[in-house]
């Protein structure tokens, strides 16, 4: 076995040639899971707390704590807004989850979401220069039910300590009530990254995919597999960005969404889905096969594959078909299979395939921009502003069928997203601070550069130890053994 490089850049080359395309894809997935488990065990998680302020002698404890800090407490008491200046609150996000829908693994129990929530905090800091804390909570009430009101109360109670809240991995229908209630009843931005974040990055990818296909968003027929929080919000954002509801159809596990779905109408918890039932699919397509035939775009965020999307469905689509197959951790159809079936552009949620349409491209910059102007909420138009910032950046550096959105390595895109989101917040009147786009851009760029430099310094000084190379080689060996039986 070829020795893997520390940065895993040669993972494809390290896989033996004897593997089929499907085996290679499975091997990469298994390898990343096995390595992730052992790497987390090695580090004991991936987030720690470090001081922001210096200590220049023993008496500085009296400045940072008692008696000096009393002046900070009374100043904030008299004007709560000063908490954003006198504490870390102005650049601090709570990553809140009840862990009821963790990636593709479902309900993982409250502590089961910590790996993902710490991961969000890691990306926020490294990519957006934003501090974040993982908060996994128990939403089970005395009846043994998952209660959205418990999440709502939890967020309201923690609001005074944070500048924003990132909701994550909350199952539907609870996620709709939690987000919509908190957006209106808190004074800090609360957003659901699985929904709004995924929608923003998906729209960015769609904008550029349509550009390459020489098609217009208002004229294409869009079929969506899955009608959970992600796809329901993607649909709403696409419609706000100019999509035609009469050319859109969504499918859930029971069939297409349309005005005749009394099962959805009768359950008020699914009000977001019912809105889409009334707006989309006037033809009332019955089967997915019928709906996808001749469609220009297929957006799938349903259940992990492969084999969930059949190649013959892709083959039946219109010329220059666009397929987003974004289930985690395995897409509904592998990119190679979709391409073989005739797709012009294929995107997934994974970084080891071309065109990673992943909310990690969006939320670091979006939250940074909202924090920069102390926005009271993150509106749909702020999300769309982020979509165009991502799409424009990619177009300026050049797009192709295998490169429709920036990658997480293209760090200049994050302060750009932050600046455009902040400018939109000011335009809509939801910002507390009337700051210019250039000021937010420079602030975001500075904090991102600093976060990356601090991480590098900790690594170079040995305070963050390099994981043993043996971990990578053992993980790859175990993955290959499992794939090849």
Which pTM value belongs to this model?
0.94
Distance from the first to the final alpha carbon of the chain? 17
Q: State pLDDT tens for residues 435-457.
A: 999 999 999 999 999 999 999 99
Task: Please give, one letter per residue, the 3-state secondary structure of the chain.
Answer: CCCCCCCCCCHHHHCCCCCCHHHHHHHHHHHHHHHHHHHHHHHCCCCCCCCCCCCCCHHHHHHHCCCCCHHHHHHHHHCHHHHHHHCHHHHEEEEEECCCCCCCCCCCCHHHHHHHHHHHHHHHHHHHCCEEEEEECCCECCCCCECHHHHHHHHHHHHHHCCEEEECCCCCCHHHHHHHHHHHHCCCCEEEHHHHHHHHHHHHHHHHHHHHHCCCCCCCCEEEECCCHHHHHHHHHHHHCCCCHHHEEEEECCEECCCCCHHHHCCHHHHHHHHHHHHCCCCCCCCHHHHHCCCCEEEECCCCCCCCCCHHHHHCCCCCCEEEECCCCCCCCCHHHHHHCCCCEEEECCCCCCCECCHHHCHHHHHHHHHHCCECCCCHHHHHHHHHHHHHHHHHHCCECCECCCCCCCCCHHHHHHHHHHHHHHHHCCECCCCCHHHHHHHHHHHHHHHHHHHHHHHHCCCCCCCCHHHHHHHHHHHHHHHCC
Is the link from the previous residue into 173 a cis peptide, with omega within 30 of 0?
yes
- Check if 271 is active-site: no
Give Cα 163 distance to the centre of its chain: 19
- Yes or no: say if 430 and 379 are a contact pair by the CB < 8 Å rule: yes
d(C-alpha 118, C-alpha 116), whole Å: 5
Give the separation between CA 390 and CA 218, rounded to whole angstroms: 20
The span from the CA of 220 to the CA of 217, in Å, is 6
The string of pLDDT tens digits covering residues 21-77 is 889 988 998 999 999 999 999 999 999 999 999 999 999 999 999 999 999 999 999
pLDDT number for residue 310: 97
pLDDT in tens, 368-411: 999 999 999 999 999 999 999 999 999 999 999 999 999 999 99
Residue in the block written with tokens 């829908």: 101
Q: Can you tell me the distance from the alpha carbon of 207 to that of 189, in angstroms, rounded to the nearest whole number?
A: 26
Residue 417: the pLDDT is 98
Report the candidate in 212, 153, 167 with the shortest Cα–Cα distance to residue 394: 212
Contacts of 67 (CB under 8 A, 6+ apart): none
368 is known as an active-site residue: no
Are 422 and 370 a contacting pair, CB within 8 Å? Answer: yes
Give the model's pLDDT for residue 2.
58
316: exposed, middle or buried (Cβ count in 10 Å: 0-12, 13-18, 19+): middle
Q: Where do the domains of the chain lie, and which CATH numbers do they carry?
A: 74-188 (3.40.50.10380), 196-347 (3.40.50.720)
Q: Give the residues of the chain that fall short of pLDDT 50.
A: 1
Report whether 33 contacts 329 (CB < 8 A): yes
Q: Which two tokens stand for residue 318?
A: 């219109």
Give me the catalytic one of 28, 120, 150, 377: 120
Task: Count Cβ atoms within 10 A of the Cβ of residue 142 and give its class: 0-12 exposed, 13-18 middle, 19 or more buried.
Answer: exposed
C-alpha closest to that of 419 among 447, 399, 452, 397:
447
- Largest Cα–Cα separation, the chain: 75
Among the listed residues 33, 43, 65, 254, the single catalytic one is 65
The per-residue pLDDT for 194 is: 86
**Residue 106 Ramachandran class (φ > 0 left, ψ -120 to 50 alpha, else beta):** left
CA–CA separation, 481 and 282 (whole Å): 50
Cβ atoms of 101 and 171 within 8 Å: the answer is yes
Asked whether 203 and 224 are in contact (CB, 8 A), the reply is no
Which pLDDT value is given to residue 388?
A: 98
Instruction: Give the strand order in the sheet containing 345-347.
Output: 255-256, 248-252, 222-225, 297-300, 322-325, 345-347
């Amino acid at each position: 076995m070829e020795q893997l490089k520390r940065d895993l850049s040669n993972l494809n080359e390290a896989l033996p040639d004897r593997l089929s395309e499907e085996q290679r894809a499975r091997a990469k997935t298994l390898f990343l899971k096995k390595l992730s488990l052992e790497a987390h065990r090695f580090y004991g998680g991936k987030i720690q707390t470090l001081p922001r302020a210096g200590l220049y002698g023993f008496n500085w404890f009296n400045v940072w704590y008692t008696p000096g800090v009393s002046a900070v407490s009374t100043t904030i008491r008299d004007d709560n807004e000063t908490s954003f200046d006198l504490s870390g609150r102005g650049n601090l996000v709570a990553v809140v989850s009840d862990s009821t829908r963790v990636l593709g693994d479902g309900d993982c129990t409250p502590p089961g979401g910590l790996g993902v929530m710490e991961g969000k905090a890691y990306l926020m800091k490294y990519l957006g220069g934003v501090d974040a804390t993982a908060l996994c909570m128990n939403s089970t009430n005395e009846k043994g039910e998952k209660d959205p009101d418990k999440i709502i109360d939890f967020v309201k109670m923690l609001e005074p300590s944070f500048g924003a809240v990132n909701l994550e991995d909350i199952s539907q229908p609870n996620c709709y009530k939690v987000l919509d209630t908190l957006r209106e009843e808190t004074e800090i931005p609360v957003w659901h990254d699985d929904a709004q974040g995924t929608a923003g990055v998906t729209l960015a990818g769609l904008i550029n995919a349509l550009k390459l296909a020489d098609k217009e968003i208002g004229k294409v027929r869009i079929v969506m597999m899955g009608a959970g929080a992600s796809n329901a919000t993607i649909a709403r954002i696409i419609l706000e960005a100019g999509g035609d509801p009469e050319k859109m159809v969504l499918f859930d596990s029971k069939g297409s969404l349309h005005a005749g779905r009394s099962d959805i109408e009768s359950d008020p918890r699914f009000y977001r889905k019912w809105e889409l039932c009334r707006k989309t699919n006037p033809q009332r397509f019955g089967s997915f096969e019928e709906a996808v035939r001749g469609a220009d775009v297929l957006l799938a965020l349903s259940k992990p594959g492969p084999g969930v999307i059949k190649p013959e469905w892709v083959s039946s689509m219109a010329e220059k078909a666009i397929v987003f197959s974004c289930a985690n951790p395995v897409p509904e159809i592998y990119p190679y299979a979709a391409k073989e079936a005739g797709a012009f552009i294929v995107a997934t949620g994974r970084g080891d395939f071309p065109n990673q349409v992943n909310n990690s491209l969006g939320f670091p910059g979006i939250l940074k921009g909202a924090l920069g102007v102390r926005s009271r909420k993150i509106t749909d138009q702020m999300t769309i502003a982020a979509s165009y910032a991502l799409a424009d950046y990619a177009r300026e550096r050049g797009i192709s069928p295998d490169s429709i959105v920036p990658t997480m390595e293209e760090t200049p895109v994050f302060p750009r997203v932050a600046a455009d989101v902040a400018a939109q917040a000011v335009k809509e009147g939801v910002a507390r601070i009337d700051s210019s786009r250039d000021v937010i851009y420079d602030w975001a760029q500075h904090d991102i550069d600093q976060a990356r430099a601090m991480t590098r310094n900790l690594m170079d000084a040995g305070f963050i130890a390099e994981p043993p190379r043996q971990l990578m080689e053992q993980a790859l060996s175990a993955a290959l053994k499992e794939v090849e039986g």
